[in-house]
Chain A
Amino acid sequence: MFAIDFGKPKNEVVVGIDLGTTNSLVAAMGPSAPFIIPGPDGDPLVPSVVTALPNGDFLVGNPARRALVTHPRRTVYSVKRLMGRGAADIAEERKLLPFKMGEGSESVIQIELGTRTFTPPVISGIILRRLKQNAEEHLGEPVTKAVITVPAYFNDAQRQATKDAGRIAGLEVLRLVNEPTAAALAYGLDKRKEGIVAVYDLGGGTFDISILRLQDGIFEVLATGGDTRLGGDDIDNLLLRVALEDIASEWGEDLTKNLEAVQLLRRAVIEAKHALSVLPRTNVVLEYRDRRYARELTRDVFNRLVLPIVERTLAPCRQAMADAGVTTGQIDEVVLVGGSTRVPLLREAVERLFRAKPHCELNPDQVVALGAAVQASILSGQQTDKLLLDVTPLSLGIETMGGLVSRIIQRNSTIPASATETFTTAVEGQTNVLIHVVQGEREMVKDCRSLARFDLKGIAPMPAGMPRIEVRFLIDANGILQVSAREQRTGLEQSVEVKPSYGLSDEQVEAMILESIERAEDDFAERQVREMRVEADNVMQAVEKAKQSDAWFERPEDERESVNRALNELLVVYHGDDHTLIRVKIEALDEATRPLAETIMNSAVNTALKGTKI
């Protein structure tokens, strides 16, 4: 007799995902270390940008980022800043993000893109699904489970919205991990066996500071703090405003309402910001409708502009140290995370505050995803020598008489954490009790953030004050609240109806699962073709524009002919279904137009140098 050896069933891979404000990444654990999974274009970062095309398809990542200029009304970015928020609390975001808000945005924002509206969890779900597909392509197996990171300072609604996004994307979210904690895991700082570490994370949209104690493989978060509306976006917005004013006085034209121009200028100020991290000076350049704006920006001026943003990060750092009960002298290491920590002024400020040279060996925009992959391998049981003990960033309270908050779980409590309170009735025969739960550190309900109202229903009619309902508040390992109740006398589980103040109900999430809101996607090849066509659109549009310029007529006859030929050849393959062929023709067109592009660039630079306007 012989037996067939099917081998051991292979453990399903769990990926780690950094769902960022600006960039998202997916990573997995390799034999010895975590690695980033690149997209099909080879870029490890997938920009968190989504375009809803008129035909019902979506562009995600780099193609969508390029479409920001060509399809500004159909493209949305930095949607993480809208997660778990309602219309009333996004005044800041409205100034920053030029999106159209649809009706019924009170508890969940409705983002209008073209003729359709989408909630932030759906947009995030579209990004997550792309990361899932990238991982499946790369690993050659289905991916259905993930660890997703969130800013440590995210509240309950923002966490829930992130979990919903995972579900919408067809992912089972095994755990939400706080971004700074994930970064500490990625650094393998446990190798030092013992010590206190500060993780400073300034990304595109959020700021986090966490203080951890490491001991024998345990990463115990002592305290965390932050600001969920502070990041590189704010620097961009500042520079953008200054540039718009400058242009208005130079051109006598206010471009603020001109979405296309604003997006071009936004791109230009971001480029300048990045350049200033390595250069002492650079130029902000906008070319728009045959006009050209160029302004030199020095690092000194830049530093003066962003100083207030740098300073806004320092108070949460001091508070977190106080909460952790540590002084600067006790901090052994500082870790820098997030693309915005490349700004030299910021590095200096952090170094001065903690009096320690910060770590930045790992790429600051990849380290969180790598840590998420480490946590994924811990959850799937592949690593048993490490353990994360995280905390809840905000105190949990319930509304009491006079609009006051009675705190039941303090901020920085290790999670899971629980508290039990007993409630009763105020009038005879009352059959339900309403509990209003809030998050925040202030004394008054109106100054805290409403989390949900819990309706304890079906209380047997009794004289006032007789029923004794024990309510248990439990913050789980994801930092999300669960509530259960029982009647003390009978010991019976009491039904609790939850009315979240912000966010989607279970049924709404169900209806948003991506397959149900769009036509059946998605053959990988088909998608690549569609993306390549948008790419081709962009290139052809640019070439057509260049052909209107003086430079075009200065080029030799044969060169112009070869450009036209390349353009025609691209048009021929455009409607075919071979994406590589389209790419080849795009590249050929690029090649053919290079001298033309250079001429245009040079003449632009020359005019700029002469200081005259075109």
Chain B
Amino acid sequence: MTRTTKPDDGGPTATPAASLRFDAVQKRYPGNARPTIESLSIEVPAGEICVLVGPSGCGKTTAMRMVNRLIEPTAGQILIDGRPNTERAPADLRREIGYVIQQTGLFPHRTIAQNVATVPKLLGWSTDRIAARTTELLELVGLDPEFADRYPAQLSGGQRQRVGVARALAVDPPLMLMDEPFGAIDPITRERLQNEFLRLQAQVRRTIVFVTHDIDEAIKMGDRIAVMRPGGRLAQYATPAELLLSPADEFVEQFVGADRALKRLALGRVRDLELEEPTRVRYGDPVAGVREALRRAEVPYPLVIDADGRPLAWLDDDDLHGERIADGIGSEVAVVDRDDILRDAFSDVLQHRVQYAAVTDHRGVVIGILSADAVARELAPPGPAPVQPAEAHHGTGA
């Protein structure tokens, strides 16, 4: 949150994010018969994440590495904020472009703090400023300050990847390149890192080129997605929703996958849907009153809550006998957060006998009910019956 920038200290100030443009870029490696990238033109607005996605060997890494001139294009040019990247000496250019790779490439003989401070040191920041920035960065990526004096070998893969991100963010570069940054990490940690990174990006708003071959990751991370096919040709460049709703051709459709309707669930949040109102009851309430309330209810089951409004249990017909609702009866409630993505929430709902989940706010108080039906409606937007391919649909997605 607290990006300190001291203009008086000689280092760069909080630079605005840069825009990026590939202008008919071609790359042919010497000795290869065909160009790896035939002609690539993409425009990335400042502050957005552009994901390059495509099958292995289609030239994603090649395209990304031409931005900071680790690879020089054979033809065409790359413009950063409208200026060709060849205007600057490669080393100078690279110091202003964050660079994260899958294998992290942390310097094994340097501490975490020293690793993070690599570019600030190259730019001649003062020791005090470097120390302050390092502490701040470790916090930003969710690492305990005690890691500062450890060496890379003493960290887990996920922790090393966070250090890699912190190192790339060190001088708040206007542009970041990330090559499968979460590729070599177990699915659970990967998901957490993705979420944390998106939260971080919401704060720092950098322009990011993000390479992955995982379409799910692309949909989750990208503001825009460039689907590439072998030969470095652009198959489609679109927002995630557009990509899922109307794939440009068969290649994209196949790459996006047959379950692309389901994938749209990754785009929406629980809070985006219309929630249903539960019948809230407490243990000890008179059964007759509950039965009366249920007659007018959207959700046919009463939800037991505690004194603070937090969900306790679902009741069904069998539970509603006697004078008052007996203590502790009922079945387990699936609880989802209003900020959860729909896909995760849906799978939680499906795991329970009752196809409803209680939606809570950050305090855990029930604010509504998510039903499997509501999710299904979301999947089938209004329009022609969903027997035809999705090209016929004209929804905007979630």
| Bound pair (A, B) | no
| Chain A contact residues, CB within 8 Å of chain B | none
| Chain B contact residues, CB within 8 Å of chain A | none
